Structure 1
């Protein structure tokens, strides 16, 4: 027989279960809202005045979108982004690093001529090249360190003719450029050139410049050059 006390106990138990279920639902809803908000912020949050661009994917950032658009030719992917967003400037994240893509000749020229764009990012991949994780060189640093190392480099390069017009060096540079043009126009002649020469005059960059740059630098330092037929050593 069901008594009044049993009904009261059952009613209290039901109320407690209902309150617990409501609290669980509210807590789960709150967690879902927070996670959704964080995901939205991660995907679409951008720095102030940042140009339009693709969302930020985990790990790769917007760079992953570019890889999905055109994995082999990122410059074509950048052009597609410029056409899609109808802007010469596009902003995306390369990993966690905010980056701006410039897709117009005049804008690129303006960027390269303005002093506020002369800086270099302080990235881990730059510091890992040195034993003490210091920023070295002249390509990946800026500020006082760059001025000091540039001064050091110019002082010793003058011993090799830097800053002076050498007729023989100009002749050597012209010969290397003509050789590179022949490779682009006529295609590969030797086995090592097939790795960067494609059909219809297509070549891979920067591989096509390797021998040209190496020979000019080698001539400045030692007065020698590598023959085209023996240039496979440059790619080893």
Structure 2
């Protein structure tokens, strides 16, 4: 009997080993030919466990270029993924017409009553093109990107300055104040109002946004993988889902308030225009992607992106100013010479403040807060970069790798605003600088973000000198890895300038 038991165990093990071997052989056999090279990983899960366990996906993907080159492929939980890591490959890939699609994701399809509603960021095809065109038209009509919108940003910058002055030069964490100020700009566009910095509901909302982006690691790569549907029981996933529902509930309340006070002939903000368009389409029985649920998710896109990215860059900027006093002093000297002490900087001053602008660009490069671009998907079988990529393949652009590429940036780990200046001291933009990505799905709010960064940063430099608090921990430039790369929480002393 013991002998038969051993034979039985050996048979079971043999069957398991045989099945694994068969799966591996079948996977390799079915793997399309002429794909980019890449790591094999594990049966069933591919390279996914390696990527998750290593953490800091952008660094892991960059390391793989040493073995496989700037373009490689991998299996992530049964999903074929192509990763591009160089400026040339990213530019070619993201500008190709077959890569503008997004991978299908069940996460956002379960957030509203309409499973087809994905908002503008996560939608694909006709839904995306119609919503993007409509959003650009609405924002343009509301005056965003015009110089006249500068006053709205400057007003919020003034509130931020007053909030900082209340600390009277004592140490404080600037994160929440910066989030308040930046978020109020997009709130004025989207919701038609700003919130007081002491509003507890608004404070909670900002914390929900920050926490959700922190949980959603890897630039949203994991959340769009089909295998995640089977892992939705995980605590991080459940918390993300709960947080998004709470944010959407906040936006729903605002939509209902707008609906009850709507003046269709005089829309005041983004939601008003959206509601008017929906009413017109319903009246004329026009089928459109401009729906209530898409409006909610698009408002979520604008609200989250418009809050987190700009405020995070400003936090990095303050961190670098504390670490590089000589840069801070040079910025202040430039601003004082051009603007003076009797008024605040304006957008019209920007061409005459090249060092200030170069510093913003260098903070964006070194912080590289969107380290891994939101995933794209090949909508057709495509020949690209010398390879044949099948339809449905996910595309990941590692923007962090470009920001650290020594063939583009000399001594890339060094903070050096002069790399964005020519020999005459004039601003020298670099096409390899990709803080807003590139291609057809370049960031919708790029121009607004550029306006905000310049106004907020130049106003802060005009009004304060930022210093590391005495006796505080050494400054750290390590990042918290989420959808964005955020600095580890820190405190700063803001000393008012005469």
Q: TM-score range by the shorter chain?
A: 0.5 to 0.7
**Cα-to-partner distance string for 1:197-224 (whole Å, 9 max, x where unaligned):** xxxxxxxxxxxx9556523312434464
Contact 2:24 2:43 in 1 (8 A): no
- Corresponding position of 2:101: 119
Shift of 1:33: 4.3
TM-score by length of 1: 0.59
Contact 2:157 2:181 in 1 (8 A): no
Secondary structure in 2 aligned to 1:50?
coil
Aligned-partner Cα distance in 2 for 1:133–1:33? 41
- Corresponding position of 1:235: 207
Determine which structure has the larger helix proportion and give its number.
1
Q: Using a 3 Å threshold, how does the CA distance of structure 1 residues 161 and 66 change in structure 2: closer, same or farther?
A: same
Tell me, yes or no, if structure 1 residue 168 matches structure 2 residue 150.
yes
Q: Using a 3 Å threshold, how does the CA distance of structure 1 residues 48 and 131 change in structure 2: closer, same or farther?
A: farther
**How many residue pairs are counted as aligned between the two chains?**
186
Q: Using a 3 Å threshold, how does the CA distance of structure 1 residues 159 and 109 change in structure 2: closer, same or farther?
A: same
Larger C-alpha radius of gyration, 1 or 2? 1
Contact 1:172 1:216 in 2 (8 A): no
Shift of 1:227: 5.4
Tell me, yes or no, if structure 1 residue 62 matches structure 2 residue 44.
no
Aligned-partner Cα distance in 1 for 2:78–2:134? 34
What are structure 2's unaligned runs of at least 5 residues?
A: 1-9, 162-170, 209-498
Aligned-partner Cα distance in 2 for 1:98–1:169? 47
Secondary structure in 2 aligned to 1:125?
helix
- Corresponding position of 1:110: 92
Q: Using a 3 Å threshold, how does the CA distance of structure 1 residues 136 and 56 change in structure 2: closer, same or farther?
A: same
- Corresponding position of 1:214: 183
**Cα-to-partner distance string for 1:78-135 (whole Å, 9 max, x where unaligned):** 11111122x1012112322211111112321222222221122223334233323214
- Corresponding position of 2:64: 81
Aligned-partner Cα distance in 2 for 1:110–1:211? 37
**Cα-to-partner distance string for 1:31-86 (whole Å, 9 max, x where unaligned):** 85454222343478633332222224356431221223x22x1111111111122x
**Looking at both structures, which has the greater relative contact order when contacts are Cα pairs under 8 Å and sequence separation is at least 6?**
2
Q: Using a 3 Å threshold, how does the CA distance of structure 1 residues 169 and 108 change in structure 2: closer, same or farther?
A: farther
What are structure 1's unaligned runs of at least 5 residues?
A: 1-24, 180-188, 195-208
**Cα-to-partner distance string for 1:157-201 (whole Å, 9 max, x where unaligned):** 34432354425258549959x99xxxxxxxxx534749xxxxxxx
RMSD between superposed Cα atoms in Å? 4.2
Tell me, yes or no, if structure 1 residue 129 matches structure 2 residue 111.
yes
Shift of 1:143: 1.5
TM-score by length of 2: 0.31
Aligned-partner Cα distance in 1 for 2:149–2:91? 30
- Corresponding position of 2:23: 38
